[in-house]
């Protein structure tokens, strides 16, 4: 399906009823066409910051600074509220860094994330992001650390910078092609599918990471339309109803899918995109 209006106008019309502040950054990896709306706005990152943490874990693995097989012991002091399963398990269990990293992404486990941050430190993540050209992406504190949040320490990101990070991953430019693929395969096992993947046709592979806290909701993804993958990052803050904001993200995802599938050649001739 194509839209008679420019795609950014269509997206803006979807977002307007949800109110709040939205940012959109999309990139078609074959044609390099981009869709940018408020793309440099800075948002509290919520769990989207777990993508930069994922990147740092695998980069340090490749540099020989850690092993994904090394184990970390769960303690009661590690446990925090929010998403995930480790908070429900008993102290003393040991998990490999690979297990913790997988839990951090696929079920957005906050305890696993904090255990990884303890191993890496925040500075290493931030320095890595600067090296990749992400100037506004910041890991300032652990998950659910409200004392640090009250002191003004907030994890931050922008739609454009998350698009850049995912582009580097999709192009195989983070450490190596194989490492980039490993990270994206973990993201493709994501269990939160109620935003970008929601209205896409069955069978479309999506490697995504959601984030949600109070009046913030995001999703960032590589969408694997065969031979024509694209990146979509949608972020929202300051809205009145989260369900409406989440649905707006899903509807934006649908029209971006339709738009990129309509470009250059008919989908029904290539089998690339499906209605």
What pTM, to 2 d.p., does this model score? 0.94
Work out the pLDDT band at 267, boundaries 50, 70, 90: very low
pLDDT confidence of 272, banded at 50, 70, 90? very low
216-224 and 230-237 strand pairing: antiparallel
Q: What is the pLDDT of residue 107?
A: 97
Render pLDDT for 136-192 as a digit per residue (tens, 0 to 9). Answer: 999 999 999 988 988 999 999 999 999 999 999 999 999 999 999 999 999 999 999
The domains located in the chain, with CATH, are 7-268 (3.40.710.10)
Distance of CA 211 to the CA centre of its chain: 7
Residue 176: phi and psi, rounded to 5, are -160, 165
- Residue 261's contacts (CB-CB under 8 Å, 6 or more residues apart) are 225, 228, 267, 272, 273
22 forms beta bridges with 236
Give the model confidence (pLDDT) of 204-225 as tens digits: 999 999 999 988 999 999 999 9
Structure tokens at 47: 């769990």
């Amino acid at each position: 399906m194509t839209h008679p209006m420019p795609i950014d106008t269509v997206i803006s019309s979807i977002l307007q009823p949800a109110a709040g502040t939205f940012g959109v950054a999309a990139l078609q990896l074959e044609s390099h066409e981009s869709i940018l709306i408020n793309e440099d706005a800075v948002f509290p990152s919520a769990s989207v910051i777990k993508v930069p943490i994922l990147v740092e874990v695998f980069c340090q693995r490749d540099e020989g600074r850690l092993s994904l097989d090394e184990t970390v012991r769960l303690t009661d002091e590690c446990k925090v509220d929010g998403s995930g399963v480790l908070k429900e398990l008993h102290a003393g269990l040991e998990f490999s860094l690979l297990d913790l990293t997988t839990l951090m992404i696929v079920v957005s486990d906050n305890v696993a994330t904090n255990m990884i941050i303890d191993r890496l430190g925040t500075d290493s993540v931030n320095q890595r992001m600067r090296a990749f050209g992400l100037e506004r992406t910041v890991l300032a504190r652990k998950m659910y650390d409200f004392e640090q949040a009250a002191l003004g320490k907030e994890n931050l990101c922008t739609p454009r910078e998350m698009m850049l990070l995912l582009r580097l991953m999709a192009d195989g430019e983070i450490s190596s092609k194989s490492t980039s693929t490993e990270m994206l395969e973990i993201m493709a096992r994501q269990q939160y599918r109620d935003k970008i993947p929601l209205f896409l046709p069955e069978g479309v592979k999506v490697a995504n990471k959601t984030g949600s806290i109070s009046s913030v909701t995001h999703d960032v993804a590589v969408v694997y339309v065969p031979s024509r993958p694209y990146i979509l990052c949608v972020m929202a803050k300051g809205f009145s109803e989260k369900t409406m904001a989440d649905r707006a993200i899903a509807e934006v995802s649908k029209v971006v899918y339709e738009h990129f599938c309509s470009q250059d050649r008919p989908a029904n001739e290539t089998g690339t995109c499906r209605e």
